[in-house]
Amino acid sequence: MNAKTEKVMTLIHKAEKDYKASKVLLETDDCDYHCDSICFHCQQCVEKSLKAFLMYNETPFPKTHDLLILLHLCSGLDSRFNDFDLSECAGFGVDIRYDDPSPSMGETRRAFEMAKIVMNYVRGRIEPE
């Protein structure tokens, strides 16, 4: 496995860990208490997946946590990314950890589903060597 593929697969595995962490918290009896953490891990899953896709396609991207910037770059490579509405997830990276109000259970479940969709789509577009 070359160095680029190794970095891409590391990001994919980290995205999967964030997804699994959100799933574990979502399955707890008091999951409504963990909405902030679940949404943060979902945002991280999406961010790492998008960055892995860009890296795999050798497309430079800025040092950012902004999902909308990353999504725009991915859309330039694959128009299917235009189908992903990440506007709700976009604020779950930095802001949610400090001062935004906690997301609702509905927002949390939507973030979880979007993370799964994006992660699976990206995994399907990356072929490890």
Q: Which pLDDT does position 96 carry in this prediction? A: 75
Q: Which pLDDT does position 129 carry in this prediction? A: 64
Three-class secondary structure of residue 123 per DSSP: helix
Measured N-to-C along each axis, helices 105-125 and 35-56 cross at an angle, to the nearest 10 degrees, of 20
pLDDT in tens, 65-118: 999 999 999 999 999 999 999 998 888 887 777 776 789 999 999 999 999 999
Structural domain of residue 67, as residue ranges?
3-125
- Whether 62 has a pLDDT exceeding 70, the answer reads yes
User: Could you tell me how many helices (H) and strands (E) the chain has, helices first?
Assistant: 4, 0
pLDDT in tens, 48-61: 999 999 999 999 99
Structural domains in the chain (count)? 1
Give the pLDDT mean for 32-45. Answer: 94
H-only helix segments in 57-104: 67-77
- For residue 84, the domain's CATH number is 1.20.120.330
